[in-house]
Amino acid sequence: MSLRSETGPYFGDFGGRFVPEPLIAALDELTEAWELAKADPEFLAELDELNRNYIGRPSLITEVPRFAEHAGGARIILKREDLNHTGSHKINNVLGQAILTKRIGKTRIIAETGAGQHGVATATAAALFGMECVIYMGEVDTERQALNVARMRLLGAEVVSVKTGSRTLKDANNDALRDWVTNVETTNYIFGTVAGPHPFPSLVRDLQKIIGEEARQQVLDLTGKLPDAVAACVGGGSNAIGIFHAFLDDSAVGLYGFEAAGDGADTPRHAATITKGRPGVLHGARSMLLQDEDGQTIESHSISAGLDYPGVGPEHSWLASIGRASYRPITDAQAMDAFRLLSRTEGIIPAIESSHALAGALELGKELGPDAVILVNLSGRGDKDMETAGRYFHLIDENAVQS
Amino acid sequence: MSAHHSATTASPVEAAIAATKTSGAGALIGYLPVGFPDLQTSIDAAIALAENGVDVIELGLPYSDPVMDGPVIQEATEVARAAGFRLRDGFTAVRAITERTDVPIVLMTYWNPVMQYGVERFADDLVAAGGAGLITPDLIPDEAAEWLAASERTGLDRVFLAAPTSSDERLRQAVEVCRGFVYAVSTMGITGARQDVDSAARTLVARLRDAGATSACVGLGISTAEQVAEVLEYADGAIVGSALVKALADGGVSGVARVAAALAEGTRRTK
Ligand SMILES: Cc1ncc(COP(=O)(O)O)c(C=O)c1O
């Protein structure tokens, strides 16, 4: 059977709807609306038009030979989601859900955001569609991604700085869910990744799978064959499932997700959910989870706000459990080295999130050898990360030189 | 057995609620989190509830991601967790409280802690401690097969939520599977005191009655004796949380005792 035909609510033992009853009607409504929309030529035409003329799809692929010299000589090809309008893959999902919001007659949209890319994409869609928009963002993240907070406000969104718990993405998620429970009559929750209760894991996946569908054909056209490996970073897992999905039934293509290992997967400070977690429930789905013995969620840590999440989407937990995809940890230091290396060798400044996939590709290239072709999802650009990088590499002092 | 078979039920919670309707207007159900501000004080405070007119005690287990809770309960449970709350403290508290009062106790817990503890083991330990059942805010009956089986085996009560947005079919399902009572969510929202308890609650309880409910309690936003009395005009019980937690935070055990006694005024039959 095709691995591409899973629609939820369950992916193997993972998924489901572990949410308060007041949200069930809204989830049912979204599930039904999505079933109708994805088979409706009018919806598909509207989305296609926005993909082409607003996002700039199809996104390019770019081969990066100077970078690949550091990867055992394997060929490395980047899928350029960083070139999308608003700077990451997040916009693919948001525009689809914004059209869906319009179809179910709601006028207010809310979202959680970590790095701010999903928040910026949602604020952008709200401006484009004339909707009211509230973005929940952990206080820690509003500080490390201050530029994105300014972008969201400029676009007309209200940004709520969340001060509970670890003050990062998971707590922003909690507050967005609380808002949704309270305002569900007028409000649609535009979920930013392939986690959460059904239908979000399959809905967001369906809107992101265009990445892999384009890239599969683009790599075939360029090289005459499928890649040997596909690499992506994994926070909640939307860019990874987006590029993996088209390849799920190509059993010769290795699929590799790279999780944020922070200070190291064997230290207490990391976000390597599949590597180090065990099954549990968070934010509406049963999936792998960083948690203590009592089932209390453990705070995650990563230099990258977009990967700083103790959970992961259920489809990834399933793909890991059946061995179809492998998940590996990448530390802050490895990611920042790859961040600088791509900037220096290719003139492309990647998002720190995406730099985890790049660091993973450097490892994979050395393992697979010079004949291998590795497709990497460059999920976003690094403009938003310049303050973090500036501090990390001491670029902003008065006497700073090249790092 | 379920919330619509009161004549045959062995549920101590349903019996306690039913008894209040002969002596008064209905039941007062009081919520406090275990371990706030510390374990012993939370035990003393729960006993103070029982001694001041609360008919069923709802003990919350502090959890890292309480999506149904407003700021007052979030803050209290964060204090409890920072002070080292462990899941086993829940059983310690139930045991200590049942030693000193006959008022039945249900635990209110998000689902992941139960899942990690082991559903069967959790049920056995709750029975052993003298607890009556569970309220599960983020577990819907559709996902609850393991808990339905464990509660069937042990006879524990199981309280699921019903919401103004729930379909008639889902309300029937809630009435069918709930035992003890059905938790009618008064308004769309999270826990926390409100000026008006929504008229949506009255409509929801009427719909639950149509679905066969004989034991339906209303929660979220109730903070005064007047609101308790108003809710008991149509429901079997009124659930108060944030107002009690705030009273405990501000005035300690004697403070929460005073507020409980004042709320209990709302359960007196007036007509
Ligand atoms: C550029 C970029 N890549 C990746 C992620 C991680 O999310 P996901 O795992 O859903 O792709 C984010 C999240 O903010 C991001 O901004």
Asked whether residue B6 carries a pLDDT value surpassing 90, the answer given is no
CATH 3.40.50.1100 fits A56-87+209-392, yes or no: yes
| Ligand 1 center to A233 CA (angstroms) | 7
Side chain identity at B11, as an amino acid letter? S
- Does residue B80 sit within a domain? yes
Asked whether residue B214 carries a pLDDT value surpassing 60, the answer given is yes
Asked whether residue B105 carries a pLDDT value surpassing 70, the answer given is yes
Look at the domain A20-52+89-204 and name its fold: Rossmann fold (3.40.50)
pTM above the 0.90 mark? yes
A21:B78 CB<8 A: no
Give start-end residues of each CATH 3.40.50.1100 domain in chain A: 20-52+89-204, 56-87+209-392
Asked whether residue B144 carries a pLDDT value surpassing 70, the answer given is yes
A contacts of B170 (beta carbons < 8 Å)? 21, 24
Q: What is the pLDDT of residue A398?
A: 64
- Give the DSSP H/E element, type plus range, for residue A376: strand A373-378
Residue B112 has its nearest CB partner, among A26, A183, A280, at A280
Of the candidates A388, A384, A275, the residue with the CA atom closest to the CA atom of residue A335: A388
- Given CB atoms, is A300 within the 8 Å cutoff of chain B? no
The arithmetic mean of pLDDT across residues B182-199, rounded, is: 80
B115:A177 CB<8 A: no
Domain that holds residue B202: 3-266
- SS3 sequence, chain B? CCCCCCCCCCCHHHHHHHHHHHHCCCEEEEEEECCCCCHHHHHHHHHHHHHCCCCEEEEECCCCCCCCCCHHHHHHHHHHHHCCCCCHHHHHHHHHHHHHCCCCEEEECCHHHHHHHCHHHHHHHHHHHCCCEEECCCCCHHHCHHHHHHHHHHCCEEECEECCCCCHHHHHHHHHHCECCEEEECCCCCCCCCCCCCHHHHHHHHHHHHCCCCCEEEECCCCCHHHHHHHCCCCCEEEECHHHHHHHHHHHHHHHHHHHHHHHHHHCCCC
Q: pLDDT by residue for chain A (403 residues), tens digit each?
A: 899 999 999 999 999 999 999 999 999 999 999 999 999 999 999 999 999 999 999 999 999 999 999 999 999 999 999 999 999 999 999 999 999 999 999 999 999 999 899 999 999 999 999 999 999 999 999 998 899 999 999 999 999 999 988 898 999 999 999 999 899 999 999 999 999 999 999 999 999 999 999 999 999 999 999 999 999 999 999 999 999 999 999 999 999 999 999 999 999 999 999 999 999 999 999 999 999 999 999 999 999 999 999 999 999 999 999 999 999 999 999 999 999 999 999 999 999 999 999 999 999 999 999 999 999 999 999 999 999 999 999 987 767 777 6
The CATH number assigned to the domain holding B85 equals 3.20.20.70
Q: Whose CA is nearest to atom 1 of ligand 1?
A: A380
What tokens were used for A360? 């993973």
Instruction: Considering only residues B3 and B257, tell me which one the structure prediction assigns the higher pLDDT.
Output: B257
Polymer length in residues for chain A: 403
pLDDT class of B189 with cuts at 50, 70, 90: confident
Q: What is the pLDDT of residue B5?
A: 44
Q: What is the pLDDT of residue A403?
A: 65
Question: What average pLDDT does chain B have?
Answer: 94
The domain tally of chain B equals: 1
Q: What is the DSSP letter of A57?
A: P
User: How far does A153 lie from chain B, in Å, by closest CA?
Assistant: 25
d(CA A378, CA A372): 18
Residue pairs between chains A and B whose CB atoms are closer than 8 Å: 107
Asked whether residue B193 carries a pLDDT value surpassing 80, the answer given is no
Please write the tens of the pLDDT for every residue from B33-68: 999 999 999 999 999 999 999 999 999 999 999 999
- Does residue B170 sit within a domain? yes
The answer to whether residue A185 is catalytic is no
B contacts of A284 (beta carbons < 8 Å)? 138
**C-alpha angle with apex A287: B183 to B159, nearest 5 degrees?**
15
Note whether A256 and A329 are within 8 A (CB): no
Q: Which active-site residues of B does the annotation give?
A: 58, 69
Residues with CB under 6 A from ligand 1: A 88, 114-115, 117-118, 193, 233-240, 306-307, 351, 353-354, 379-380
- Does residue B271 sit within a domain? no
Of the candidates B56, B50, B126, the residue with the CA atom closest to the CA atom of residue B94: B126
Q: For A96-107, give one letter per residue: b (16+ CB within 10 A) or e.
A: bbbbbbebeebe
- Given CB atoms, is B84 within the 8 Å cutoff of chain A? no
Asked whether residue B14 carries a pLDDT value surpassing 90, the answer given is yes
Asked whether residue B97 carries a pLDDT value surpassing 80, the answer given is yes
**How many angstroms separate the Cα of A31 from the Cα of each of A6, A36, A199?**
14, 9, 6
The answer to whether residue A106 is catalytic is no
